[in-house]
Every structure is written in C-alpha cells, then in structure tokens.
Amino acid sequence: MAKDLPERVTLLGIRHHGPGSARMVEAALERTEPEIVLIEGPPEGDALLGHVPDLTPPVALLLHDEAEPASAAFWPFAAFSPEWRAMVWANARGVPVRFFDLAAAASLAEEPSGARKASLDPLGTLAEAAGFDDPERWWEDVVEHHTDPADLAEAVAEAMTALREEFADEVDDRTLRREAAMRQNLRQALKDTDGPVAVVCGAWHVPALRTLPPASTDAAMLKGLPKKKVSGTWVPWSHGKLATASGYGAGIDSPGWYAHLWECAPRGDTVARWFARACTVLRAEDLPASTASAVEAVRLADTLAALRGRPSPGLSEVMEAAKAVLCNGDQVPLDLIHDRLVVGERLGEVGADVPTSPLAADLDRLTRRLRLPLNATPKQIRLDLRKDTDRERSKLLRRLEVLDVPWGTPDTTRTLGTFAEAWQLHWKPEFAVALATAARHGTTVAAAADQVLTGRAADATRVVDAAETLSRSVGCEIPTAVTAARTALDRCAAAATDALELLAALPDLATTVRYGSVRGTDPELLRVALHGLLARGAVGLPLACRGVDDDTAERAIAAVDGADDAVRLAADDDHRDTWRQALRSLVAMPDAHGLPTGRATRLLWESGALDSDAVAARLHRAVSLAAGATAFVAGFLRGSAALLTADPRLFGVVDDWLSGLTTADFEAALPLLRRAVAEFSPAERRMLGDRVKGSTRGATATAADWDEALATRLATHVRSLLAEAAP
Amino acid sequence: MTTETVLRPAAEQQYAAELDALAKADDRPRPPRWRMSPQAVVRYVLGGTLPDGTVISPKYVGDRRLVEIAVGTLVTDRALLLVGVPGTAKSWLSEHIAAAVSGDSTRVVQGTAGTGEDAVRYGWNYARLIAEGPSEAAIVPSPVMTAMRLGAVARIEELTRMPAEVQDSFITILSEKTLPVPELGIQVQAVPGFTVIATANDRDRGVNQMSSALARRFNTVVLPPPASEDDEVRIVSARAAQLGRALELPAEPPALEEVRRVVRIFRELRNGSTVDGRTQLKRPSGSLSTAEAISVVTSGMALAGHFGDGTITADELASGLLGAVVKDRVSDTAAWQEYLEAVVKERADWRDLYRACQDR
C-alpha cells in the first residue's frame, strides 16, 4: 500500500543547470534547514563530496568501472547548477549530503558507451506550451515573484504530475528503476534522521517520489542489477562542454548566459552588465561598440521585453537588441558574442588534494615507472627501441601525441636507423587541459589512444589519411587500432581512383613495415597492406602519367620515387616484379609525360632491369621527339650526378644529346636542365665538371668518333651551365 | 479622395477600418502621439482577430521577432533602418508601420542620386524669399521637418542611394533631434513621437555606403527573403489577388498551383539549386525577388484577362518569367535555357510550361 511522504521531506523539483532552480534550492534549504540533503546523482560519488571546497566549477564527477575503466560516465555541474548549490550549502553547514540516484555500477552497465541519453526536458516542454523559447526565461517569469519556495515546489510538482500523465509513454524502464532506487535511498534517509530532509532532483522525478509504495515493490525492481566496483574523481569541465553543441545529451545551449544570470541576480543589473560585457568583447576585436550604443541596446531590450509582456529581458531579447544596435544587423559580430558570452569559455579547476582523473593517474603511474619526469624545460632524449624501457617510453610519447598532448616531438632531422629515435621533450602546463579533454576518450593512455585512432580510422576517406593512421597505430602498438586502420586502408584503397594518391601512401607504410618487427606488430600483416596498395597503384601508374600537365608530372615523379624506395625497402620479390612491370609499361607508353617516364627509365636502369644500351636507345628515341625530350632528360637526370660521372656510356649518351642540340633548342632546354642540375650537391657538380674537362679518358673507351671541336663546345656549355647554377 | 479613385491608396486609406478598430480595442499604454500601443502596431502588421470580431489582415508574412524589434526601436525613439535585398518588403513594412504609428505614411523622402539637402532639411519659396526676405513663412519644410514638428514618423526610402553628404545631414536630426535654420537663427526641435524609418539596399549597384557615424544612429533590422516556399506562395497569391482587384483585371486570381510554380522557379534560381538539392543551377544576375514574382503573376493575370480566356495558363506566365529572369542577355539567357532543359523539361506536369517557354 502506498503511503504519502512525511511532511518533513521537502521535494525540490529542479531544472538541471537552471539558475532559477538554483536560487529556489538555496532559498528552500535556508528556510527548511534539513538535516540530510539528497541530490540526484550516483551514490558512489558520496565519497568525493568532501572535496567540494577544493573545486571551482564547472567541474564534472567522473565515475568509472574499476575492472573496465573505459566504461565511465560524467556528471557535470556548473556554479549555477541547483545540485552544486545544494552541495555547497550543505558543505558550509556540515549537513550530510548524499547522492540518491541509481548506483553508477548499474547505470554504467546499461550504457557501455558512457554517454548519458538525451531525455525529455520537462520544464522546457512546459515553457514551450506557454509560448516561451527559453525555458530559463519562462522559469524566471513564472517563478521569480514567488516568495514561498515550498509553495513553488508544490506548484512544480503539480505541473510535473500533469506532464507525467501526458507523456506516460516516454517513461522507460530505466527511469522507473532509477526512481525505485531514489525511493529506497529516501527511505534509508528517513530512517537515519527524524529531522527535515531536502530532496534535490529533476522536476520530472518529483511525482514518482511523492508517495512511497511498499519497500518490497521497489526492492523487487532493483533486484539482480549488476554490482561492480566503481571509483571516480572530479575533473575540470568547461562551459563549452556544457553546451549542447558539444554533443553532451543533457546539456544547455547558453551556459555563459546562465552563469551571468546567476552572478548578476543579486545585484539586479543583469541586462546593463551583459551589454557592457558584449561591448568589451566587440572592442577586443577592434569592432566599434560605444557606451552610447550599449545604452540604446539596453533600452531596446527592455522595450522588447515590455512588448512581449515579460517582466525583464531574456536571452532572445538581449541578443536581438545586440544584433540591431551593436552589430548593425550583421551576423558575424553576433556570432562572436554568442561564442564568448552566451556559451563562454570558462574552465573549472580541481584542487591538488582531489584524486586526479584515471587518465592523468595512469600517465602519472607510467611516467614514474618509465623514469620520465614531466619536465618544464626542453630536453633531448635518445631511445634505443631494442631496450624494453625505451620502447615503452616511445610508445607513451606516441600515444600522448595521438591524444593531442604533444609532450615529445620526434626529431626527424637525424636518421638514427631502425632501432633508435630522438625526441625533444617539453611539458607545458596547458597539456593538463588537453589531458582532461582526452579523459573522455578513455581512462588509460592506451585505451584513450585506441579510441582516438579507431575513430580516425573509421572517419578516414583518403588513402593517405588511412595510411597515416595505420603508421601511428603501429607506432603506438595498439593492435585493435592497427586492425581498424588496416580495414580503413583497404576501404579507401578500393574507393581511390588516383593511382598517384595510392603510391604516395607507400613510403609511410614501408617505414611502418620496417619498424613493425620492432614495434611488436606482425610485419607480414602490414606487408600485405603494402602489397595491396602497390598492386592497385602499379596498375594505374602508366595511365596516370598520360597526357598530364607539368604540375601533375611533378607529383607523379615524386610518387614514383617514393614508391620505388618503398618497394626496395619492404616489398617481396613478387611485388618487386609487379612494380618493375609497371615502370616498364610506363616507359613503353608513347604519350606519357617525360618527367615520370625519364625517372622510370633511370630506376629500371639502376636496378639492372634495363642495360645501358637500352637506356641509350630510349634517350635517343625521346630526343627525337623534340617537345618531350627536355622533360624526359630532366626526369632521367634528377639526382643522378654520381651515375652520370661513373657510367661512361651513360655520360656519352647525354653528351651526344646535348651537343647535338641547336642553339635555340639548347636555350629552351636550359631551365629544365638547370633544375635537374641544381639538385646536385656542389661536390657532385665539381665531379661532373671534372669529368667533362677530362672527358678524353672515359669517353675514348666507348666513343670512337671523337670530335675535338664538339667536345670544346660542349665543355663550354656545361661550364657556363655549372657556373650559373652554382650558388 | 476615396480609395476607389486612386491607383494605389496609401496604407492608412486602404486599411482605415482596421486601424480604427485596432485603436478602439486598444487598452494598453500608448507612447506620446502614437495612434495605438506598440502591441497593436505589431498586431496590425502581422494580422489577427480583435475581441470584437474584426479580422486584421496580415501585411507582412515572416518572423514576428523582426517586427517586434522594429516597433520596439521606434518606442525608444531610435531611428530604424530596414536592410535587405530588393523585394523583401522593406518599403512595404515601413509604410505600414508608419501608417499604424502616426496614421500617416506619406511623409516620405525618396532617396535617389539626385536627392539634395533641401529634400531632407528644408527649401525656400523663392518668390517669397525675394519679396519678404528670409522668414519662417518663406521656408518650404521637408517631410522630415514636418514630422519633427508634429511628432510623427518620417520615412526615408533607399537611404543609400542618396549622395553621402546628403545622408550625413541626418546625423544632427537623429542625434540632437533638432533641425537648425541658420538663415533665421532658429531651430526646429522635434517633439516626442518623432522618429525615422529608413530603408536601404545592401546588394544593388550604385549605392553609397553609409558613414559609420550615421550607421551608429540607427538600429538595423535585416529583412530576409521569405523563409519557406509556402510563405512565399502565400505572399504572392495574396498580393496578386489584391493588385488584380485594384487594377480591375478581368481575370480570376490564379490557381494556387500556378503561383507555386512561379515561386518555385524563382526560389530555385535564387538559391542556385533545385528544391530537392540534387541539381546545381546557374544563378541569373537579377535579384528574383518576391516582388518580381508578384509582378509576373499579375502581368499573367492581365494577359489572361484581356487576351485569353480569363484563367492563367503556362502561356501567360512564360513571357513574364522570361522578362523577370533574363536581365543580362548573354549570361542570363544561358542560365534560363539550362534551367528549362535540366529542370523544367524533367518535371512531367510542367511540360506545358516548357513548351510555352521554348516557343518564345
């Protein structure tokens, strides 16, 4: 049999994060002086309530499953949250406070994702029915002039009862279970004290708490719920994260405005102060905003409120007035006011005595174990990846990088081989913020990095992105992320239509394959991915070089170079053949751009797949097509000074071609040749010059028809060429 | 002058009955020299039903908040600037608000490249000036000066078309609320109730940017094009029917379907994509405003009434459409032809319109 709640219980139905509700709660607590305060929230958080004086809101209560830290949830509170006010009030007076919602152990089990579901905003619904767009304004309008908080609480309870009947379908099993738990905890509180009890909970739950059914009914509902060990902490929160825009289900649109309402209410200068702050925001961006305009804006906002029959201007009135008066009807400065003031970027603080977030605790543990203290001054370190500690350190730095905590920057200027890495370490205080943000990804560094990488892999649309995620995953040594990135790579490669894009992803991947064994990832797995990309890219390469402009040709030559390095570094024999075959068909393709074709010819020649005679024939053939010749030669020569000096036949071929050019053709060819030669180091250029000067020695071996006059002419050309190209 | 004898009666003449009924039913406080309370002005503009059963027709279809900001601005005796692309009912709104607030919407200064300072401040009756010398009797007051004396609303049309130096002569009027007459050593001081509604167009060619000193004296309300197709259809069919009556066109007001077609064509070309968002379109150079859509429909009505059987068909619309869309022969013709081929031809029930347009 259900019985009514005893008189000594005050039910305070609130709107979460509502400053109006917060005021109501404060007044009601002052008046009723309860001996126990019950607040909607998980009872596991009770242990953390002692830390309230050390906190600066906005902060969030973070609870997570000890066995499976990734299963976690946040309960955020701002300074103007009624729950927060109740905690502060009780703490100041030494009144015991308890969270009395369903245990987090049970709610975490229901929602492994850790996010709270968006639920019906009951006060919002009432406000809408009354024709208000902002529930907080409605609350202010309806509630402000109520003097007796108990009366008000009664009115709220009645309205909610009606609403609960209306939306009976919206009440799911979970809500019913939560309310059963609330009633059980309330019974316990009634047993513990004979004095007044105050209950602060969402207005929606008030009707369910007004009568107490037999305890056995509630106990039956709560039977068999999972029991887990849950631990938690306070983490700094921000106004931006309170806003609905960041995807937090039970969030509010305008935390900055609510904070402003809360702070200004005792002073009674809400609107004037708001516009003064808006003017400051605009002036900081060098936009005109005079005090006179602020005065006019206040007048317009007041008039609009009067016109709409409201006791005082609300957010919509002040924003409309700001747009018409301060922003000249322009949306851009208004957006600025919205971001800075309506949402606001306030960050909470958590005192040093409060246990840190599990992620921070994990990092703390790792840095101590790896003897890698957080350093405020930059420091260089060298890691030998064959040593376990160093490998763990590298892993940690890479994982933090993924979490936007760039504590270490890899030094890529020096190549130290497969087994060594150089890092620049510098810990900055703002990383604490990034770390707190990353806390939502997971409760350990590994889990958080895993979630970020898996997410990135799922979002990747381009081969390059997927390959980058893959190499990062391998660097971080997270097998699940590696698998996800592999899948993403396959997906992107299948969808990619540009062979050059596919090939461009190869060098990164090849390095990854090479590091794979050190990194504890099976290199074969990655090699398969590399081969897949290579096969697709090789098929498309010749066509991708056909009939393209010079810019694309530059991309193509870079892709061919990179892919060739990658093939030599990491591909097996079969795929090396596939690649050679692709280069051959590129060389054979008649209308391909000269730049990649020339480079392909060189690569084939270097690898021994083409002998020097064939190259000579190929060069002559290219030269006979006047237009493509320079591009071909440029592609052929780029970065090959040593070979040019060493192979007399190659030298002879180039020599013949150069000296055979007419003056006009030579001048036309000069820019491209210079670009090819400019890449040679001074030493190489000197070597090549020597070779030209002393050409009789090498050239006689192959060139029977030696012509002294021709040689002099060529030598002059090359000398002027080299002199001009020299820095 | 009765409403029947003039081509276009002023708002306060045409809606005299509504204004009277509103003023009678209005029991809220009125600002000095206002004919009715601000709430009643908003109701006059947006329409509604009075307690005594009088139906107030909606004059402006759109966001209620914009009208509230506009009226609220006038209550604070700040000047109001209505900004928007052509055909977003700026002047229409300005006229009706002036009619409701002061009962007279005819104190207008039309801004053109040739508007001089005397149109804004005052001119002289030269015969009198020469005969009697400078005196107050020799002054020819501008509509603004008259409005200042009476405590009424003065309207400025196309403020940004005036030369910049003429625009700036408003600065004293708006900030000091006085108009000095240095020749006589006097000044005309505005009485409570005086305010200014200006309209300006921020897109057109040939406008003079407002100085920021002047812009600071205005509250700006930006009027957007109609938000939804249904709103625009409502505006076009209501206005076309009114105009048809006023011009005594023999044709029936067009079927809703024809109006919807015109509105859809205008919206699609204006937005550069079809309603379903699947097809990208070239945008013609014209503004393709709601006002132009109204004129396409009324000219269709005129054609149908005088040369057709009285009901609008695709044939009557086609000529008007072509004229409204093609403002620049070369680029707009291409855009229009592309639209016909890619969109109109594909819609099965628009075949008649496609054929009618291709015939031209």
pLDDT grade, residue A67 (50/70/90)?
low
Mean pLDDT of chain B: 87
Q: How far is A257 from chain B (nearest CA, A)?
A: 20
**B203 interface with A at CB cutoff 8 Å:** no
What are the tens digits of pLDDT across the range B48-98? Answer: 888 888 899 988 888 888 999 999 999 987 899 999 887 788 899 999 999
Residue B76 shares a structural domain with residue B37: yes
Domain-located, residue B279? yes
- Are B69 and A296 a contacting pair at CB < 8 A? no
Which chain A residues touch B if contact means CB-CB below 8 Å? 288, 290, 292-293, 296, 299-300, 303-304, 306-308, 316, 320-321, 323-325, 327-330
Domain-located, residue B5? no
Residue B252 shares a structural domain with residue B330: yes
- The confidence score (pLDDT) of residue A700 equals 43
B277: pLDDT strictly greater than 90: no
- Are A329 and B83 a contacting pair at CB < 8 A? yes
Q: What beta strand segments (E) does A551-608 contain?
A: none
- The confidence score (pLDDT) of residue B174 equals 92
Cβ A507 vs Cβ A501: under 8 Å: no
Q: Provide the domain limits for residue B262.
A: 229-358
Largest CA distance in chain A: 120
Residue B73 shares a structural domain with residue B146: yes
Residue B238 shares a structural domain with residue B142: no
- The confidence score (pLDDT) of residue B304 equals 84
Domain of B30, CATH number, reads 3.40.50.300
Name the closest residue on chain A to residue B28, using Cα atoms: A307
**B219 interface with A at CB cutoff 8 Å:** yes
Of residues A236 and A161, the one with the higher pLDDT is A161
What letter would DSSP give residue A52? G
Distance between CA atoms of residues B239 and A334, nearest Å: 34
| Of the listed ranges A106-115, A344-353, B259-268, B296-305, the one predicted with least confidence | A106-115
Q: Name every chain B residue with its beta carbon within 8 A of the beta carbon of A325.
A: 78, 219-220
Domain-located, residue B1? no
User: Nearest-CA neighbor of A197 among A37, A40, A87, A21?
Assistant: A37
Averaged over A461-465, what is the pLDDT? 84
- Residue numbers of B between 80 and 119 with CB closer than 8 Å to A: 81, 83
Alpha helices, H only, chain B = 11-14, 16-25, 38-46, 64-75, 90-102, 117-120, 126-132, 143-150, 164-168, 170-176, 212-215, 229-246, 256-271, 290-307, 314-325, 329-339, 351-358
Q: Name every chain A residue with its beta carbon within 8 A of the beta carbon of B78.
A: 296, 299-300, 325
- The confidence score (pLDDT) of residue B287 equals 78
Domain-located, residue B336? yes
Q: Name every chain A residue with its beta carbon within 8 A of the beta carbon of B212.
A: 288
A238: pLDDT strictly greater than 80: no
Residue B154 shares a structural domain with residue B270: no
A664: pLDDT strictly greater than 80: no
Distance between CA atoms of residues A225 and A176, nearest Å: 13
Residue B127 shares a structural domain with residue B171: yes
Tokens of A702: 């192959």
Domain finish residue from B169, B188, B222: B222
- The confidence score (pLDDT) of residue A144 equals 55
- The confidence score (pLDDT) of residue A84 equals 93
Distance between CA atoms of residues A318 and A313, nearest Å: 6
Residue B248 shares a structural domain with residue B157: no
Averaged over A356-362, what is the pLDDT? 77
Which of A288, A306, A324 lies closest to B219 in CB terms? A324
A135: pLDDT strictly greater than 80: no
Q: Between the CA atoms of B123, B128, B132 and B137, what dihedral angle is there, to the nearest 10 degrees? A: -60
Of residues A473 and A495, the one with the higher pLDDT is A473
A128: pLDDT strictly greater than 80: no
pLDDT grade, residue A500 (50/70/90)?
confident
Interior CA angle at B232 toward B229 and B233, to 5°?
A: 85
Q: How far is B188 from chain A (nearest CA, A)?
A: 24
- Are A296 and B38 a contacting pair at CB < 8 A? no
A415: pLDDT strictly greater than 80: no
Name the 3-class secondary structure at B36.
coil
Place of tokens 């029959």: A309
- Are A296 and B65 a contacting pair at CB < 8 A? no
Averaged over A369-378, what is the pLDDT? 77
- Are A324 and B65 a contacting pair at CB < 8 A? no
| DSSP state string for A151-167 | HHHHHHHHHHHHHHHHT
Averaged over A628-632, what is the pLDDT? 68
Q: How far is A125 from chain B (nearest CA, A)?
A: 21
Percent of chain B with pLDDT over 70: 97
What are the tens digits of pLDDT across the range A264-274? Answer: 877 878 899 99
- The confidence score (pLDDT) of residue A89 equals 93
Largest CA distance in chain B: 76
CA B165 vs CA B111, B209, B211, B218: distances in Å: 12, 11, 9, 17
- Are B221 and A329 a contacting pair at CB < 8 A? yes
- Are B76 and A316 a contacting pair at CB < 8 A? no
A115: pLDDT strictly greater than 60: no
A522: pLDDT strictly greater than 80: no
Cβ A578 vs Cβ A522: under 8 Å: no
Percent of chain A with pLDDT over 90: 9
Domain-located, residue B70? yes
Domain-located, residue B23? yes
Counting the structural domains of chain B, the total is 2
Averaged over A677-688, what is the pLDDT? 77
| Of the listed ranges A13-22, A272-281, B174-183, the one predicted with least confidence | A13-22
- The confidence score (pLDDT) of residue B102 equals 93
A669: pLDDT strictly greater than 70: no
Averaged over B25-41, what is the pLDDT? 91
- The confidence score (pLDDT) of residue A621 equals 66
- Are A307 and B71 a contacting pair at CB < 8 A? yes
- The confidence score (pLDDT) of residue B1 equals 44
A249: pLDDT strictly greater than 50: no
Domain finish residue from B168, B191, B222: B222
pLDDT grade, residue A247 (50/70/90)?
very low
A277: pLDDT strictly greater than 90: yes
**B29 interface with A at CB cutoff 8 Å:** no
What are the tens digits of pLDDT across the range A599-626? Answer: 888 888 777 777 767 776 676 666 555 5
Name the 3-class secondary structure at A725.
helix
Averaged over B315-325, what is the pLDDT? 85
Residue B214 shares a structural domain with residue B235: no
A374: pLDDT strictly greater than 80: no
Distance between CA atoms of residues A527 and A580, nearest Å: 18
Tokens of A676: 């090819």
**B212 interface with A at CB cutoff 8 Å:** yes
Distance between CA atoms of residues B132 and A214, nearest Å: 102
Q: Which of B26, B43, B69, B78 to mutate to test the interface with A (most CBs of A within 10 A)?
A: B69
Residue B110 shares a structural domain with residue B161: yes
Averaged over A200-229, what is the pLDDT? 84
Distance between CA atoms of residues B286 and B289, nearest Å: 8
What are the tens digits of pLDDT across the range B118-163? Answer: 999 999 999 999 999 889 899 999 999 999 999 999 999 999 999 9
- The confidence score (pLDDT) of residue A118 equals 43
pLDDT grade, residue A158 (50/70/90)?
confident
Distance of CA A608 to the CA centre of its chain: 47
- Are B69 and A293 a contacting pair at CB < 8 A? no
Domain-located, residue B4? no
Domain finish residue from B198, B222, B246: B222
Averaged over B164-193, what is the pLDDT? 91
Report pTM: 0.64
Residue B29 shares a structural domain with residue B48: yes
Q: How far apart are the first and last CA of chain A?
A: 98
Mean pLDDT of chain A: 79
Domain-located, residue B207? yes
- Are B76 and A300 a contacting pair at CB < 8 A? yes
Averaged over B250-255, what is the pLDDT? 72
